[in-house]
Chains A and B, each alone.
Chain A
Amino acid sequence: MKTKPSGVSGTGGSGGDVCSSERYPGATIVTADPKGVDAGPHFMDGDHAIAEGGLAAGCRFFAGYPITPSTEAAERFAERAPEVGAMFIQMEDELASIAALIGGAWGGQKCMTVTCGPGFSLMTENLGLACMTETPMVIANVQRGGPSTGLPTLTAQQDMMQARYGPHGDNMIIALCPDSPQECFDLTVEAFNLSEYYRVPVIILTDETVGHMHEKVVIPPADQIKILPRNNYSGPKESCRPYKFDSQGGHPMVRAGDGYNFHITGLTHNEKGYPVMTAEQNVKVVTHLMEKINGNADKIIRLEENEIDGADVVVVSYGITSRIAVKAIQDARKEGIKVGSLRLITIWPFCEKRIRKLAPKVKAFVVPEINYGQMVKEVERCAGGVKVISVNHCGGAVHDPDVILAAIRKANQ
């Protein structure tokens, strides 16, 4: 399989093609502030690339609590913050970290934090608040083996469902999954753009391997990085509304201190933000929260496909596992098996439509992941009875490519 370095010439996360007015209708699109862009080629790990992606995207507020294997991202941001004019606060814990991001966002800043499973667990309560209050922010979860404190220095992809279903109540987030340090940069820029447009937390679901792996990362010059600046309301006071429940993105925020009276609450609220705790209002709010993402899934979802047409077997994978899978796919093709690759760049919303369309054409799907079987449930849900083989693996290490190869062989029978 022909592969190329993602990002620069591949998926183009920070490039122009993924930040267009078709993708973000009605949005103002500008180029990045050169102050935050450390342009040029680097030999960098994924964690550092996440911090650089945030700075390039215009993030100027980071609140976090160090935890392996995400700490390097916080260190990088802290180191660069003074020269960029950003603020970095080490908080007392992860509950406080995400609370600070919510405040920072309504104070007018693009905000981010990094953590891993244990920290993400602590963040989930306020992640729900951020969803409900439609507060943009980017959270990178550099996954390590769990549950609980688990395997602090070893890799996993065990928090895929937690990212989606962590907070209580119905809510919908966006999650992206980089397969390399380059994509850590590219997808963090993209995460900010999605987050600003849909006013929703966007989660970078990476893993210890990618987070700690050094590779070449090319940071483009600022004028080649397209970003969505914060969209703040500036109209007359009487028509100021921090919310609009129309199942779409692109709505302005109201910045605290700009002189508008508005209210932010986790309670079910009206368009001014004041509590209206009725079943009718909840239908409006929840439908909007869900549909602004699900209804725009076609615009949000990005996949990387390889030799899908005519494939008997399709391997669905993401993150570091997708790279290991390519090795298995190459070997399977040498044996004459027609196998295609579907890499999930966007994890949530899930590429439901694509799987449903592919299912009748293939013998089986193979889903390798470093967990006991999480995204495979989504594939099964959409596969319409077509065979789905889970190549699960409990964390601590990446797959042996031969194990994926064996599953591809089995799928082809």
Chain B
Amino acid sequence: MTARRPVSLPPLLLAAVGWAVLAGCSPPSGDLREPQRLSVAAGLGGQGAGGLAGFERALEARALEFPQDHGPHPSFKTEWWYWIGNLTTAEGRRFGYQLTFFRSALAPPTADSANAARPASNWATRDLYMAHFAVSDIDGSGFRSFERFSRGAAGLAGAKAEPFRVWLEDWNAGAARLADAGGEEWLLEAREANTSVALTLAPGKPRVLHGDRGLSRKGDLPGAASYYYSHTRMPTRGRITVDGEAFEVRGESWFDREWSTSLLAADEVGWDWLGARLDDGREVMLFRLRRRDGSSARVDGTLVEAGGDFRPLRTSGFSLEAEGSWTSPETGIVYPSGFLLELPEEGLAVTVRPLLSDQELRHSFIYWEGAVELTGSAAGTGYLEMTGYGETASPR
């Protein structure tokens, strides 16, 4: 998955932070407040604070190296570590979760040398970290989500490759121990108010490199691309707590990892992204960049075979039709309430239906990200992300 993450975080953060910070409307417990509604597309144009000059670009495919590439890439402007998963209790109560860490650089690495003269502080940094944490209690209390910011310094937030760890305060993900089946088990921990997750993720199927050996193109211009890899099926067990009630859960998670400096073209307002695990053991990653008029600017994806082999999705004859709509009572944004997805070359014709209508994250920027189920020519579960619908509805 790719284009979905806001590429240029700084303006978003600027607004969000500025607002939260000094306006102080949000108590530390993280209660929802009226967030600054910022045009995602405006941010996607790449005109972030300080611009993109001085940052490294994803220009060509290169051999990704591990564990180094699990760690941060400070010479790129943006990157993220993205966990989503579909879990159930022994009784069959269904849950979805999302734990995402974003890193965004406020200034290019060249700024460091420019500032070399000034005295150092271990609080000084040009990296911002933002994290989103959401739990969908599908058969119970519904959806909740939280947001955090921190500086990437003073031990408050950061990422490192070895041992692999990414954290923002006490939201934490990283290597826990060697897995029985080889590879590392990762531990995910996040807690906010009465909601928490503590999950152990086994490696599962091998790593998937999207696009050209991990170079995933988002546009025709050079550099309009990201480095992008995934772990598409990670056996997961652990505990989810909602409203103070704990549930032992099992299931599967999807890990997305992407870094880049610029992604979207100016006329693209948003995207739809799907990461689905089919019951037949295959996985599908598909994204569609959407223009303001709703037309598709770019469609791309990856198909992972049950055995772990992967290849780019064959998209000729592709169609993605919205099925019904859902209007957010909070933001008034109208989202599709499902899709009919047809990939004739892959022999797929499935209906993608949200397990909960309201899985909208209403924070510094607004998007819909939630657990879905697939029916049709193949069945499965996964996560769907829809962004930029606010822009489509009311062009600016």
Pairing of A with B: no
